Amino acid sequence: MVVVPNEIVDQFREHFQSAVTPVVYRAPGRVNLIGEHTDYNLGYVFPIALSLACYVSIAPASHGLFRAFSRDLARDFSIPIADLPAAEPRHEWSDYIVGVAQQLLKLGFPIQPCDLYIASDVPAGSGLSSSAALEVATALALLGGRELPPLELALLTQRAESQFVGMPCGIMDQYTSVFGRQGAALQIDCRSQTHQYVQLPDTVQIVAANSLVKHELGTSAYRERVAECKEAVAAIADIDPGVLSLRDVSLEFFERIQDSVPLIPRKRARHIVSDTQRVVDFALASRHNDLLEMGRLFVASHRSMQYDYEITCDEVDFMVDTAIKLPGVYGSRMTGGGFGGCTVTLVKPDAVDAFQQKLTQAYRERYNLTPVFYDCEPAAGAGRMI
């Protein structure tokens, strides 16, 4: 749902029947350009923060509750403030905000009774990280201007998702929402938890296309992949005990020893090791305005997710296969955790309209679904809006 920041204040007042003026915080979603599932393997990723964002408005209250409303789900939530520290997950949307509140309490930030009004235009469950946007905006709202170093903010919101929500995610989504910058992509080193900003060529448009499918397999398969990568590390560490994560494995070393790794972990490792290398190559190609190479790396990354990591699905494979045959397209791949969600495509700016029309037509004919497109201009990271 489109969010108009100036209208949120009125919506807050109307919903909570209150005359107070809330403070509004914004945290963006992100689209990852290359390096998928490499974050929890401590490799590189290459995302941009989006103008699509989650807005959390907050005001103190005297009712003794931690109270929230999600405009997008039309759902209320409340819990006595005294119950926050021991609250258990309910396996629903409120886990994201309660998880964040608990992490702040653990760091010694008291939380006072308050009302939160949540409105987001990041599509949920589509690989553009609505969850991190919600977590980071909530954390900023609950901090209310109290100082926390940005890396701590990214790490605490990641812990909320991995420990409370129960999704063993890497650092990419929350990190990007915090550190995103207008006009630049981030090359994040997930081991050192540092990043460089990389300028993208201005002769290309980045277009995300939502397949509108979300296979339920997502969460369990994610856990499975995390476990399979661990198995691969264990097998490789038998050969070189210095290997603590797949980040420590170069492509050249992997190719030499891969036969010693059992088949499934071998395929998973091949994706992670090669996609980490592709991030480095992509950043270099971007610096050289080499769009053909960037496009080639996109498609190689997709094939790696399709055949080695096995996290794509028919719908997104079809979208990519269709896109790469269209005029003005340099490359296309699935983005995000997998099993549906969005593809991301590098397109010549003057070919974008025709690309969207043709892809829409083909996808409708095949799946009777109309994809939703998002222009992906790199936008700023999280902060206070009003």
Q: Does 211 bind ligand ADP (CB under 6 A)?
A: no
Distance CA 56, CA 224 (A): 33
Query: Is 133 strand, coil or helix?
Result: helix
Q: Does 93 bind ligand ADP (CB under 6 A)?
A: yes
Annotated catalytic residue, options 115, 173, 248, 275: 173
Q: Which of 120, 126, 131, 245 binds Mg ion (CB under 5 A)?
A: 131
Q: How far is the CB of 154 from ligand ADP (least distance, A)?
A: 15
Judge contact between 180 and 380, C-beta under 8 A: yes
Q: How far is the CB of 366 from Mg ion (least distance, A)?
A: 27
Is 248 known to be catalytic?
A: no
Return left, alpha or beta for 253; rule: phi > 0 is left, psi -120 to 50 is alpha, else beta.
Answer: alpha
Q: Which does 96 bind (CB under 5 to 8 A by kind): Mg ion, ligand ADP, none?
A: ligand ADP
- Please state, as a whole number, how many other Cβ atoms lie within 10 Å of the Cβ of residue 141: 26
Beta-carbon contacts of residue 325 (< 8 Å; ≥ 6 apart): none
Of 3 and 204, which CB lies nearer to ligand ADP in the complex structure? 3
**Site stretch for Mg ion (CB under 5 A), options 21-29, 69-77, 127-135, 136-144:** 127-135
Q: How far is the CB of 49 from Mg ion (least distance, A)?
A: 14
Q: Does 131 bind ligand ADP (CB under 6 A)?
A: yes
Per-residue contact track with Mg ion, 290 to 309, x per CB under 5 A?
--------------------
Judge contact between 222 and 268, C-beta under 8 A: no
Judge contact between 56 and 141, C-beta under 8 A: yes
Please tell me the count of residues contacting ligand ADP according to CB under 6 A.
18
Distance CA 144, CA 142 (A): 5
Q: Does 174 bind Mg ion (CB under 5 A)?
A: no
- Give first-to-last CA distance, the chain, whole Å: 20
Q: Which does 104 bind (CB under 5 to 8 A by kind): ligand ADP, Mg ion, none?
A: none
Catalytic residues: 173
